[in-house]
Amino acid sequence: MKYIILIYLILFTVVSATPKEKQLVSSKVAMQLLESIKKDAIVLGSGEIEVHAFIDPLCKMSQRYLSLIYKRNHEIFSHYTIYLYMHEIKAKKSKQHILTIMDATSPERMIHNIMIDKDMSALVSRHSVNSRELFEDIAKVAKTIGVNKRPYIMIGGKVK
Amino acid sequence: MSHFKNKLYQYFIFIIKFRIVIIGFFTILFLYLALTMTTMLTHNDEALWLQGSTEHTKLLENNHQAVYIEKLQLHLGEKAFSSKNIDKMKLLHSNLNTIKDVIKINSPLTHTVISFSDDKVGSSLVEAHTLQDSTLAEISNTLTSGFKDFTQFYSTDKETLYIYVFSSSPVDFSSIYIPFKYDSIKVTQDQNIFKDMTLFSILLSTLFILFCITFRTLIPSLLGVVFIVFTTLFTISVYKFIQPDVPLHVSILLVSIAVSIMDFIYIYNGWHTAQASHSSHRSLYYIMMKTIKPIFWTSVVTVVGIGALTVEQSIILQSIGYNIVLSSLIAFILTFTLLIAMLSFFKIKKPYIMTKNSSRFVAGLEARYKKSLLQVFLIVTGLISIATVSFVLMQPSSIIEDSNDEVIHIMLPSDGLTHASLLKLENFHDDITSQFEDDIVDIVSSYKYARGFTKAYNPSMEFEVSKINLSFIAFDFILYNIQDDLMLNSNQLVTIYIEEDGIDKNVILQWIREWNQDKTTLIDDAKSLLSAAKYDSISHMIYVVFFILFLLTFIIFHITKNKMFAFIALTVNAIPLVWFIAILLLLDISLSIEILVSMLIMIALSSDASIHFLCYFHRNSKDKLSNEEIIEHSFIEVGTPIGMGSTILLLTFLLLIFANIPTISTIGVYAVILIILSLLADLFILPVLFIELIKSKSKVL
């Protein structure tokens, strides 16, 4: 029995120590996948180069990243188009926040309220079926691509 | 008498006949030039050094402006990272930002550090951040715990904070409040009429008093001032005609005045003393006859020797060359026209000869010189000369001037943020680091941050420039606002911070200039450009110094047709230089452009004295005078004006020391030392060598 436990521990250590693949699909496939959910993204800027970012509204790093983008909005938005995909980190329990952003008349304003201003007063508990479907679509694509952290930033189908 | 049947006498008669016309002509010309004069003098020698220099010209050809970097050294006390100090640093930042020309400030608050954060529940971020918006406590903690990222901003004992201020023009830091004790930074004022007038007034007053004391009459004082004022104005006017767009540096003008006054002193002293036994007019003619040859040849040495500077690329060296050449030529013309015409109106009854007794005393001592002492002195000087040359040849870096501003800013032309440009930067980083590993604190460039970001994104990946994802790096550069610090119009900017006690900056600068085979690297910070400009001029100046020495030797040989006279001229002028360089090496003072300019001026002046002395000895070498008599007479006729001229020059250069302009003050210090050494050689070595090598042998013969 002790050998079985020992082998189990060794295997567990090896598996957890092995770095997870940051991206599970090729950049070409990733681009195709992103293309399929682009319409569901919150779009900032109108630049030539596309940047795709999976973020969680309650993730501190995502919040910091978004505030940096807003801080440098003039330069960023003229060179880049930022596609923001709301993708929950399970531990953050942010599904309600994501659906509120998706349901909002102006998702850009809502994302700013929740992530930058930390204003949660507009949070609602009832959400549309459409936004629930969008939430699932993004989650599926994220799983296929291998989104393992937030913010998960991609340019040209490649992750940072 | 044959003395009166020659062209010189006819010329003298012509001058006397038309003296009023001559004085009138020069006075009208003087008034016209004075009324139409628009020249402004400059105190900013840095601007003059940069004009025409290789690196600065390259910069202008690329339509790139120089950047001014000032390293503020602020005293923090014992608690370097205390809230109080950090608060003061923030206040200093806001004060510096009020200065219009400040482009950026590099300090612990603005220094960009790449970090990786991971909350272990799915959030992680690689980011570049500064401490600018952090709280006092956060800044204090970061500086304490992550000091290795901020070492270039602190002295080894952490008691001094370094802040680098980048600006588009020199900044006057006295205009803002600096909330620390700091080493004052002087900004050269470009124009200061009050200072110019004070310097000239002191110089003229000194001349006036000195002449009064020496000759006990007001005539030389008045005529000396008139002569200087005329020479100065004519020199400035002709110079402005030759180089209309170049401002004239006040010190160059002072030096050229000092050079020209020597002619006046020789003529006046000769005329004054001759009146002890001759009439005024005859004295005037005699002194013309005696001095025209040496004055002509000293002018030739100055014009040809220092004239070599006029073909230099550096505007300041050209300016020195033109002004000394012009003032020498104009002084020669005015001496044998205006001065003769003016002196012809005066006469001295019972001329007072101040140096009569002292000349006899010193001559007595020198005539009884000990041959063994002379031999020992010459052997020691010869050995020192060999040792000095060997030392300089073995350690060429010892001739490079020290520089302590410890930062170099360069631009590498490139086609934007590409793998090729990053590879070039990587080569630069690797090469310079391997060459100066212990001397460079930090190199800030696109490569540094591209590497930093890439390694932070993929810590397990072996770094290679080809693996850098340029799309992400370009995005991050914009996102973290570091693009402008690292690139300019697709060209790469590199800032190199040098260790406080590291190798001299000039050594690194020279290495950088030679690193790039195609010579496209642009040095673009003003101080480094200045160092490069001065460095480039050093080798040219060494050649000019040697050229003047050999020109002088050749001219003395041409006049005397005697190798011994030529040898004495070379020896007497080389002795002060040898001893001077030996003192510099002993005190570990590196050879700089200021020292070379001083050497050049000293040789030009010293050659004057040598030519006058040797011409006198050559003229009187066949006389049946005793050693003591010939030295005594030479001291009265030549030694007195040399002593007076040297005193005036000493005072002029002492004034330059107090001019508070760094380069000029340094020239002043070295010139004073050199003039003293050269005066000693002219008064004590030259006569003894003449007796030893020429007079004693002619007696034997």
Cα angle B401, B406, B412; round to 5: 100
How many CB atoms are closer than 10 A to CB B606? 29
Angstrom distance (rounded) from CA B153 to CA B73: 9
CB-based burial label for B363 (10 Å; 0-12, 13-18, 19+): buried
Task: Write out the two tokens for B197.
Answer: 């007038």
Any idea which of B262-271, B442-451, B623-632 has the lowest mean pLDDT?
A: B623-632
Would you call A152 an interface residue with chain B, using a CB distance cutoff of 8 Å?
no
Check B121 against A92: CB less than 8 A apart: yes
pLDDT class for B416, splitting at 50, 70, 90?
A: very high
CB-based burial label for B57 (10 Å; 0-12, 13-18, 19+): middle
Chain CA centroid to CA B512, Å: 24
Alpha carbons within 13 angstroms on the beta-carbon side of residue A42 total 27
Coil vs helix vs strand at B502: coil
Nearest C-alpha in B relative to A160? B457
Q: Please report residues of B whose CB lies closer than 8 A to that of A155.
A: 469, 471-472, 475
What pLDDT score does B90 carry?
A: 94
pLDDT digits (tens, 9 = 90+) for B555-572: 999 988 889 899 999 999
Of B117, B127, B478, nearest to A72 by CB-CB distance is B478
* ipTM of predicted assembly, 2 dp: 0.89
Q: Which residue has the tokens 């440009």?
A: B421
Would you call B479 an interface residue with chain A, using a CB distance cutoff of 8 Å?
yes
Of residues A113 and B544, more confidently modeled: A113
What pLDDT score does B88 carry?
A: 94
What pLDDT score does B630 carry?
A: 82
pLDDT class for B672, splitting at 50, 70, 90?
A: confident
Q: Please report residues of B whose CB lies closer than 8 A to that of A19.
A: 460
Measured between alpha carbons, how far is residue B278 from residues B272, B285, B344, B349 in Å? 10, 10, 13, 10
Q: Please report residues of A whose CB lies closer than 8 A to that of B127.
A: 64-65, 68
Highest mean pLDDT among B341-345, B519-523, B581-585: B341-345
Instruction: Name the residue type at position B477.
Output: F
What pLDDT score does B285 carry?
A: 93
* Structural domain boundaries in chain A: 22-159
Mean pLDDT of B405-415: 88
Angstrom distance (rounded) from CA B395 to CA B398: 6
Mean pLDDT of B6-11: 89
Cα angle B353, B355, B358; round to 5: 140
The matching CATH number, chosen from 3.40.50.720, 3.90.550.10, 3.30.930.10, 3.40.30.10, for A22-159 is 3.40.30.10
What is the 3 state secondary structure string of B628-641? Answer: HHHHHHHHHHHHHH
Q: Which residue has the tokens 């939430």?
A: A135
What pLDDT score does B700 carry?
A: 45
Provide the shortest C-alpha distance from residue B449 to chain A (in Å).
Answer: 15
B residues 418-457 lying closer than 8 A (beta carbon) to A: 457
- Contacts by B540-543, CB closer than 8 A, 24 or more apart: B540/B312, B540/B317, B541/B317, B541/B593, B541/B596, B541/B597, B541/B599, B541/B600, B542/B596, B543/B308
Residue to test with chain B: of A68, A82, A159, most B Cβ within 10 A: A68
Coil vs helix vs strand at B283: helix
Taking 80 as the threshold, does the pLDDT of residue A55 lie above it? yes
pLDDT digits (tens, 9 = 90+) for B131-167: 998 999 999 999 999 898 898 899 888 999 999 999 9
pLDDT, chain B, mean: 85
Of residues A1 and B32, more confidently modeled: B32
- B19 CB-near residues (< 8 Å, 6+ apart): B340, B341, B342, B344, B345
- B201 CB-near residues (< 8 Å, 6+ apart): none
Nearest C-alpha in B relative to A81? B475
Taking 90 as the threshold, does the pLDDT of residue A112 lie above it? yes
pLDDT digits (tens, 9 = 90+) for B194-243: 766 777 787 788 788 888 888 889 999 999 989 989 998 999 899 888 88
What pLDDT score does B395 carry?
A: 58
Q: Which DSSP string corresponds to B573-628?
A: HHHHHHHHHHHHHHTTPPP-HHHHHHHHHHHHHHHHHHHHHHHHHHHHTTS---HH
pLDDT class for B427, splitting at 50, 70, 90?
A: very high
Report the length, in residues, of chain A. 160
Coil vs helix vs strand at B224: helix
Highest mean pLDDT among B2-16, B138-152, B381-395, B679-693: B138-152
Report the length, in residues, of chain B. 701
Mean pLDDT of B40-59: 76
Any idea which of B192-206, B300-314, B616-630 has the lowest mean pLDDT?
A: B192-206
Q: Which residue has the tokens 């482009």?
A: B103
Of residues B342 and A125, more confidently modeled: B342
pLDDT digits (tens, 9 = 90+) for B59-113: 888 888 889 998 898 999 888 999 999 999 999 999 999 998 999 999 999 999 9
Nearest C-alpha in B relative to A57? B123
Residue to test with chain B: of A44, A61, A80, most B Cβ within 10 A: A61
Q: Which DSSP letter does residue B123 get?
A: B
What pLDDT score does B187 carry?
A: 53
pLDDT class for B277, splitting at 50, 70, 90?
A: confident
pLDDT digits (tens, 9 = 90+) for B593-613: 777 777 877 777 778 888 888
Coil vs helix vs strand at B128: strand
Of B124, B469, B479, nearest to A69 by CB-CB distance is B479
Of residues B136 and B188, more confidently modeled: B136
Any idea which of B119-133, B503-517, B585-599 has the lowest mean pLDDT?
A: B585-599
What pLDDT score does B305 carry?
A: 84
Cα angle B602, B240, B266; round to 5: 40
- B552 CB-near residues (< 8 Å, 6+ apart): B301, B305, B569, B570, B573, B603, B607, B610, B611
pLDDT class for B251, splitting at 50, 70, 90?
A: low
Mean pLDDT of A26-53: 94
Would you call A116 an interface residue with chain B, using a CB distance cutoff of 8 Å?
no
Measured between alpha carbons, how far is residue B182 from residues B37, B163, B192 in Å? 42, 11, 26
* CB of B272 closer than 8 Å to CB of B256: no
DSSP-derived pairing of the beta strands B491-498 and B487-488: antiparallel
Q: Which residue has the tokens 């923090």?
A: B76
**Among B600, B593, B582, which Cα is nearest to B546's?**
B600
Of residues B477 and B254, more confidently modeled: B477
* CB of A23 closer than 8 Å to CB of A30: yes
pLDDT digits (tens, 9 = 90+) for B281-293: 999 999 999 889 8
pLDDT digits (tens, 9 = 90+) for B357-368: 777 777 777 777
Instruction: Name the residue type at position B352.
Output: Y
Angstrom distance (rounded) from CA B297 to CA B612: 9
Cα angle B106, B483, B531; round to 5: 50
Residue B120 Rama label (left phi>0; alpha psi -120 to 50; beta) = left
Taking 90 as the threshold, does the pLDDT of residue B592 lie above it? no
Coil vs helix vs strand at B325: helix
**Among B411, B442, B438, which Cα is nearest to B424's?**
B411
What pLDDT score does A110 carry?
A: 95
Of residues B43 and A39, more confidently modeled: A39
Check B478 against A65: CB less than 8 A apart: no
pLDDT class for B660, splitting at 50, 70, 90?
A: low
Provide the shortest C-alpha distance from residue B450 to chain A (in Å).
Answer: 13
CB-based burial label for A83 (10 Å; 0-12, 13-18, 19+): buried
Would you call A81 an interface residue with chain B, using a CB distance cutoff of 8 Å?
no
* CB of B15 closer than 8 Å to CB of B345: no
**Helix and strand element counts for chain A (H, E):** 7, 5
Measured between alpha carbons, how far is residue B184 from residues A25, B102, B173, B188 in Å? 61, 18, 9, 13
Nearest C-alpha in B relative to A55? B123
Q: Which DSSP letter does residue B462 get?
A: P
Taking 50 as the threshold, does the pLDDT of residue A27 lie above it? yes
Would you call A51 an interface residue with chain B, using a CB distance cutoff of 8 Å?
yes
Mean pLDDT of B664-674: 81
Of residues B577 and B695, more confidently modeled: B577
What pLDDT score does B191 carry?
A: 54
Mean pLDDT of B532-558: 84
Provide the shortest C-alpha distance from residue A80 to chain B (in Å).
Answer: 8
Taking 60 as the threshold, does the pLDDT of residue A20 lie above it? no
Q: Is the peptide bond before B170 cis (omega within 30 degrees of 0)?
A: no
**Which percentage of chain A shows pLDDT scores above 90?**
78
How many CB atoms are closer than 10 A to CB B648? 21
Angstrom distance (rounded) from CA B674 to CA B359: 23
pLDDT class for B701, splitting at 50, 70, 90?
A: very low
Mean pLDDT of A64-72: 93
What pLDDT score does B45 carry?
A: 66
